[in-house]
């Protein structure tokens, strides 16, 4: 028998199973780190990655030989390995789990022969030349030209924060930066927060970069499509990769540019498994690969803003809209001054009047409310019954269209009872309102004297469930077949509506008083983003308005909104954060535990806190008391969390590295269903 070599292989082994992240195998030949292999584990055969480092010292007869080497694929390069190793350590997940979970699911299923077939197909498909006629780039505006010059003058190692209001031409800057990267023979990675935004962006990039290979990567693709895009990127055949957060891990050997559009968007943070921030990893990755990183937003995250203030990022600004269109005028409606009896209507008389005017002029209005369904709860006035969910600490939402009560947390759905389930009262009534009810009310309130109703479209998670529904509804809006568009915040993102001249937030106040310290930041971003949907075409920009109905018109957040002054808002928030010792001035991690009984979850967290106190470096980290999540029980599971805070990121990291391994052992003594650590948590 020929001499076998020992190789270290990362495989998808959850750390909870007590398995090492990388196991040793035997190979007939020496294998470069990053080589993809098939490795036996128990009765299964898994995809693995040869990992650098010294194999262990188990006797050779206890090691298994690899099942196959996927030698048709070049190894994942050192930069990719370093990115994955960093993410694993920083977010406290096992290396094998993280490394394998960011590969396309389809890749896990293929043996060497199947993979070779896919590669042959890919090469054949890529043999057909992409569209050849390129759209010519418009000459840059003065603002864009300046930003591009400053970009050129900024060292690659300095991340760039591009602060530009909606419609200021940020995407055009991305296109220019991408053109430079491509001309220099490099690849570009463009990240967007939402799948829905990729087709639009892809079309724009495809039109500009005719003759270049562009692929997209997001969870809406079929497994085969996703594998194809990934392979094209890894093999260096694709010049441009557009994708959502998962695309940050795409291997790209010639990477020269990473763009993170809407860098403040919470969807860059993965909320399960390895809870990574694709934005933060993009910054790390750019440094690893000597690439430019460009973070863009109209309302940057306060983390990025503060880094720019400290000079660690370079801030570039696009202060005005292309073509000189003005931002919409912001009008606050003081709800305390409005007639009390509006028959339960959500809309104040002046707002209704303003929408009526738009309809008469043939312009469109967008009204949003962040709650879908008809009403958040049904109520019996006789006995006090409310439509609670039996499995969650939440109300079930009344959906009038299909006459159901639905829990938005666990999905539990029943037909609406005809009478109160407690006392038989026939007169059970909805309380509050969601988008369905808003749509109904607007129809009634805006009906002409002869009864003709305005044309209303509703866009929310319910109305867009069917494939193609969103596109159809957006199409109707663009075609001018809609007078009023009603929706959740889904409609406020990214869409380039040309005829909308009025945007209204019906009831945004609750975020002002949320227990989550980031709620105001999110609200401000949402309202600025929403305002950006109005007056996008120069012909309609004149007189465009953003309406906000509020009980707190004096709130500083609304004052800043009124003057479109992100800087003032950011300064105010940062001052508060600094005084309160919150991010970006402190660093957080959250330990969460789920259990059948709240006591068990709490017991686990208390034991974890006890372990924490005994660790070296514990004095640099504050461990707060366990508390239930805002919605404590979901689908019969009790959820608790415990916050950790430190003034020093390295101190917190050192502490977590010592603490998290100790937590695995606690599961034996505490009956929790699962636990997870969330580093830099976004929701508190």
Site residues (vs ligand ADP, CB under 6 A): 138, 140-141, 144, 164, 166-172, 322
518 vs 533, beta carbon nearer ligand ADP: 533
CA–CA separation, 99 vs 36, rounded Å?
11
547 phi/psi in degrees, rounded to 5: -105, 135
At its nearest, how many Å lie between ligand ADP and the CB of residue 239? 20
557: enclosing H helix or E strand: helix 556-562
Three state DSSP letters for 206-269: HHHCCCCCEEEECCCCCHHHHHHHHHHHHCCCCCEEEECHHHHHCCCCCEEEEEEECCCCHHHE
322 vs 586, beta carbon nearer ligand ADP: 322
382 binds, among Zn ion, ligand ADP, none (CB under 5 to 8 A by kind): Zn ion
Q: Can you read off the two tokens belonging to residue 639?
A: 């959820």
475 vs 636, beta carbon nearer Zn ion: 636
353 binds, among ligand ADP, Zn ion, none (CB under 5 to 8 A by kind): none
412 binds, among Zn ion, ligand ADP, none (CB under 5 to 8 A by kind): Zn ion
Q: Can you read off the two tokens belonging to residue 93?
A: 């997940």
- The answer to whether 270 and 276 have CB atoms below 8 angstroms apart is yes
48 binds, among ligand ADP, Zn ion, none (CB under 5 to 8 A by kind): none
At its nearest, how many Å lie between ligand ADP and the CB of residue 209? 15
Nearby residues of 584 by Cβ (< 8 Å), 6 or more positions away = 302, 303, 306, 307, 574, 577
342 binds, among Zn ion, ligand ADP, none (CB under 5 to 8 A by kind): none
At its nearest, how many Å lie between ligand ADP and the CB of residue 176? 9
333 vs 420, beta carbon nearer Zn ion: 420
Burial 361-391 (b: 16+ CB within 10 A, else e): eebbbbbbbbbbbbbbbbbbeeeebebebeb
**C-alpha neighbours within 13 Å on the C-beta side of residue 149:** 7
CA–CA separation, 629 vs 619, rounded Å?
26
Pairing mode of beta strands 36-41, 44-50: antiparallel
144 vs 299, beta carbon nearer ligand ADP: 144
249 vs 497, beta carbon nearer ligand ADP: 497
164 binds, among Zn ion, ligand ADP, none (CB under 5 to 8 A by kind): ligand ADP
Site membership for Zn ion, residue 423 (CB under 5 A):
yes
At its nearest, how many Å lie between Zn ion and the CB of residue 600? 20
Instruction: Indicate the length of the chain as a whole number.
Output: 684
CA nearest to 531, candidates 277, 389, 242, 326: 326
- Give the largest Cα separation in the chain, rounded: 93
> How many Cβ atoms from other residues are within 10 Å of residue 266's Cβ?
15
At its nearest, how many Å lie between Zn ion and the CB of residue 414? 11
Site membership for Zn ion, residue 380 (CB under 5 A):
yes
What is the footprint of Zn ion within residues 387-406 (CB under 5 A)? 389, 391-392
305: enclosing H helix or E strand: helix 302-309
180 binds, among Zn ion, ligand ADP, none (CB under 5 to 8 A by kind): none
88 vs 166, beta carbon nearer ligand ADP: 166
166 binds, among Zn ion, ligand ADP, none (CB under 5 to 8 A by kind): ligand ADP
Strand partners, 366: 485, 503
Q: Which of 414, 422, 599, 645 contacts Zn ion by CB under 5 A?
A: 422
Site membership for Zn ion, residue 378 (CB under 5 A):
no
At its nearest, how many Å lie between ligand ADP and the CB of residue 478? 14
Site membership for Zn ion, residue 548 (CB under 5 A):
no
410 vs 660, beta carbon nearer Zn ion: 410
Give CA separation, 252 vs 112, 161, 281, in Å: 22, 23, 14
Q: Specify the DSSP class assigned to residue 605.
A: H
382 vs 599, beta carbon nearer Zn ion: 382
- Binding segment toward Zn ion, per CB under 5 A, in 55-63, 165-173, 420-428, 502-510: 420-428
At its nearest, how many Å lie between Zn ion and the CB of residue 411? 7
At its nearest, how many Å lie between ligand ADP and the CB of residue 194? 14
At its nearest, how many Å lie between ligand ADP and the CB of residue 53? 44
Q: Is 168 helix (H, G, I), strand (E, B) or coil?
A: coil
344 vs 424, beta carbon nearer Zn ion: 424
CA–CA separation, 52 vs 39, rounded Å?
16
138 binds, among ligand ADP, Zn ion, none (CB under 5 to 8 A by kind): ligand ADP
What is the footprint of Zn ion within residues 424-443 (CB under 5 A)? 425
- Binding segment toward Zn ion, per CB under 5 A, in 29-37, 80-88, 213-221, 422-430: 422-430
Q: Specify the DSSP class assigned to residue 512.
A: G
CA–CA separation, 618 vs 611, rounded Å?
10
Give CA separation, 622 vs 175, 626, 683, in Å: 45, 12, 18
CA–CA separation, 365 vs 545, rounded Å?
10
Pairing mode of beta strands 68-69, 404-406: unpaired
Q: Which of 7, 66, 410, 486 contacts Zn ion by CB under 5 A?
A: 410
81 vs 364, beta carbon nearer ligand ADP: 364
Q: Which of 407, 482, 528, 595 contacts Zn ion by CB under 5 A?
A: 407
Q: Which residues lie near Zn ion (CB under 5 A)? A: 380, 382-383, 385, 389, 391-392, 407, 409-410, 412, 420, 422-423, 425
């Amino acid at each position: 028998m020929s001499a076998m070599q020992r190789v270290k292989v990362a495989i998808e082994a959850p750390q909870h199973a007590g398995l090492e992240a990388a196991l040793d195998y035997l190979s007939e030949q020496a294998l470069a780190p990053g080589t993809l292999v098939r490795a036996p584990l128990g009765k299964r055969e898994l995809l693995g990655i040869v990992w650098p480092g010294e194999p262990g010292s188990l006797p050779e007869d206890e090691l298994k030989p690899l099942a196959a080497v996927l030698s048709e694929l070049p190894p994942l390069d050192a930069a990719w390995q370093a990115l994955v190793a960093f993410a694993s350590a920083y977010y406290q997940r096992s290396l094998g789990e993280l490394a394998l979970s960011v590969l396309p699911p389809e890749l896990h299923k293929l043996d060497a022969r199947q993979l070779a077939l896919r590669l042959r197909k890919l090469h054949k498909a890529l043999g057909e030349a992409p569209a050849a006629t390129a759209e010519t780039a418009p000459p840059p505006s003065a603002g864009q030209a300046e930003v591009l010059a400053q970009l050129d003058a900024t060292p690659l190692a300095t991340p760039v924060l591009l602060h530009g209001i909606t419609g200021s031409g940020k995407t055009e800057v991305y296109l220019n930066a991408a053109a430079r990267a491509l001309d220099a023979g490099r690849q570009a990675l463009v990240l967007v927060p939402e799948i829905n935004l990729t087709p639009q962006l892809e079309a724009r990039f495809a039109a500009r970069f005719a003759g270049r290979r562009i692929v997209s990567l997001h969870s809406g693709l079929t497994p085969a499509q996703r594998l194809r895009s990934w392979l094209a990127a890894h093999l260096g055949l694709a010049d441009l990769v557009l994708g959502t957060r998962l695309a940050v891990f795409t291997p790209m050997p010639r990477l020269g540019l990473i763009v993170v559009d809407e860098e403040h968007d919470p969807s860059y943070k993965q909320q399960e498994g390895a809870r990574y921030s694709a934005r933060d990893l993009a910054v790390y990755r750019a440094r690893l690969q000597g690439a430019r990183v460009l973070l863009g937003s109209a309302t940057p995250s306060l983390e990025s803003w503060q880094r720019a203030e400290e000079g660690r990022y370079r801030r570039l600004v696009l202060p005005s809209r292309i073509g000189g269109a003005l931002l919409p005028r912001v009008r606050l409606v003081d709800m305390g001054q409005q007639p009390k009896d509006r028959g339960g209507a959500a809309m104040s008389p002046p707002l209704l009047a303003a929408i009526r005017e738009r309809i008469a002029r043939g312009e469109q209005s967008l009204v949003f409310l962040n709650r879908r369904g008809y009403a958040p709860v049904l109520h019996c006035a006789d006995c006090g019954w409310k439509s609670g969910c039996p499995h969650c600490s939440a109300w079930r939402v009344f959906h009038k269209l299909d006459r159901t009560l639905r829990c938005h947390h666990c999905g539990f759905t029943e037909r609406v009872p005809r009478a109160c389930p407690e006392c038989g009262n026939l007169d059970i009534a909805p309380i509050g309102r969601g988008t369905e009810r808003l749509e109904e009310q607007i129809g009634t309130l805006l009906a002409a004297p002869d009864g003709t109703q305005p044309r209303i479209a509703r866009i929310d998670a319910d109305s867009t469930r069917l494939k193609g529904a969103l596109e159809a509804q957006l199409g109707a809006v663009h075609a001018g077949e809609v007078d009023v568009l009603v929706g959740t915040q889904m409609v406020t993102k990214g869409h380039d509506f040309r005829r909308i001249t009025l945007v209204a937030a019906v009831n945004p106040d609750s975020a002002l008083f949320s227990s989550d310290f980031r709620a105001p930041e999110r609200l401000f971003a949402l309202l600025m983003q929403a305002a950006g949907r109005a007056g996008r075409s120069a012909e309609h920009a004149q007189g465009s308005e953003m309406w906000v109905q509020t009980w707190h018109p004096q709130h500083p957040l609304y004052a800043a909104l009124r003057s479109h002054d992100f800087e003032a808002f950011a300064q105010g928030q940062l001052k508060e954060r600094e005084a309160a010792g919150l991010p970006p001035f402190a660093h957080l991690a959250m330990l969460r535990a789920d259990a059948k009984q709240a006591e068990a979850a709490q017991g686990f967290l208390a034991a974890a806190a006890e372990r924490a106190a005994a660790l070296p470096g514990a004095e640099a980290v504050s461990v707060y008391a366990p508390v239930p999540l805002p919605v404590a029980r979901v689908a019969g599971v009790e959820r608790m969390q415990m916050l950790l805070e430190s003034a020093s990121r390295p101190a917190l990291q050192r502490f977590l590295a010592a603490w998290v391994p100790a937590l695995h052992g606690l599961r034996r003594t505490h009956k929790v269903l699962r636990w997870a650590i969330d580093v830099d948590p976004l929701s508190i």
